[in-house]
Amino acid sequence: MNTVGIIAEYNPFHNGHIHQIETIRARYPQARIIVLMSGSFTQRGCPAILDKWQRASHAVLGGASLVLELPAVFAVRSAQDFARGGVQLLSRLGVADGLAFGTESDGSLLAQAAQCIDSPDVQEALHRQIRQGKSYAAALSHALTEKTGLEEACFKKPNNILALEYIRSLKHLAAHIRPLPCKRSGAAYHDNELHAPCSSAGAIRREFSQPAPREALLSSVLPPASLNALLKAWKNHALPQASLLFRPLLTCLSTLDAKALEGIYNINEGLENRLWKAAAHSRNLDELISESKSRRYPASRIQRLLIYVLLHLRRQDIRSFDACGPLYARILAFNSEGRSLLHEIKEKGTLPLVSKTSGFLHSADMKRPLQERSPLQNMLACDIRATELRSICLSDIAGRSDDFLRSPLCLC
């Protein structure tokens, strides 16, 4: 095993992530580690707690060789699309032998279940459950339970859901890359309490939303670089607040006509009417999401969908992005081992490496119609807009052009 990939969010980078990297290095001492990381927004549609360059640098300090950005048009998507975009990007780098991912159950059982997803009987059961009003995730977990006899709770755990989709995507898109499941260490994904030495990212974010974060306890679950950056951001009131997106959302929802709103990705079956109705009387973002969700459209899907509204991501845009897959590899941070990896990717990969966006897209291009830009430029423009959107969630919005100005971090 020469090069192992990890697809991650690192929101923030914590001791559990270090444990995963150390596990990989213990199994494969000679392996280099490439991380494909969400940028300014996470899969659930939330602004990342620290900017992508900070999180990438923490990953390199924590043992990764190279961190690349997973484009926003794949990062802020369902588990299936998130996994597919990540696997495609990893495969196109031309250097990866394995993909490591966390699980909360036995990896071999998940591999067996993943092999069943595309079988006719599971697909029939899946679509039957969706027609009955269940969300995709709920319908899939029920269909797999019927097929495999495993407990349905197994398929509802976020890490297991992603693990299934990673294995499935590798089978269809990158059979040469070996799946490497790693049993999750420490607290459960949804555990909101801090537990040394490994706590969930959600528990850590929750602690920083408190009036006085407990520094001593945080120091037991975070590496120094992450802890210091988070404490500095907290003290300077520089942690993003998703609630600040509420008024821009009201503006979008009130100015988009029915045809324009119906064209936004993932808005269908009259969901635009639920959004308009909720927007008419909601007083904050949480109320808007709560009033819009349903059995079929859970809060996580609504939250993502609202980011699509703000980014004006249309159904046809996503179809185009899905048809071509990731079109570039954006470099965020690397060390000396990562530097040699970049040289190898240039020789073996099929994607251009982006160190500065100005080599591919200028600020003037952002004002041009989509049809006048290349598919690569349109995909990169979404990353830039996502970074600008995250800046709106900060008390100080001065740095809205970061994506045009920032270079990769060399930690050699």
Q: What is the DSSP code string of 19-42?
A: HHHHHHHHH-TT-EEEEEEE-SB-
- The answer to whether 125 and 186 are in contact (CB under 8 A) is no
Classify residue 77 as exposed, middle or buried by CB count within 10 Å of its CB (0-12, 13-18, 19+). buried
27 labelled binding-site residue: no
- Structure-block tokens of residue 235: 């003290």
172 marked as part of a ligand binding site: no
CA distances from 289 to 173, 215, 250, 285 (A): 34, 32, 12, 6
The whole model's pTM is what?
0.94
pLDDT for 296:
81
Angle among Cα 360, 389, 354 to the nearest 5 degrees reads: 20
What single-letter amino acid sits at 136? Y
Determine the Cα angle at 308 with ends 307 and 313, to 5°.
150
Is the pLDDT score of 188 beyond 60? no
| Rounded CA separation 199/197 (Å) | 7
In sequence order, which ranges of 268-327 are alpha helices (DSSP H)?
A: 271-281, 285-292, 299-311, 315-324
The pLDDT assigned to 64 comes to: 98
Residue 62 DSSP class: T
- Is 8 among the annotated ligand-binding positions? yes
102 is in an annotated binding site: yes
Q: What pLDDT does 401 receive? A: 67
263 is in an annotated binding site: no
Mean pLDDT of 2-29: 96
Residue 13, annotated ligand binder? yes
Q: Is 11 annotated as belonging to a binding site?
A: yes
Asked if residue 159 belongs to a known ligand binding site, the reply is yes
Rounded distance between C-alpha atoms, residue 192 and residue 203, angstroms: 4
16 marked ligand binding residue: yes
129-184 tens-digit pLDDT: 888 877 777 888 888 888 887 788 788 788 888 999 999 999 999 999 999 998 87
Q: Does 314 show up as a binding residue in the annotation?
A: no
CB 291 within 8 A of CB 249: no
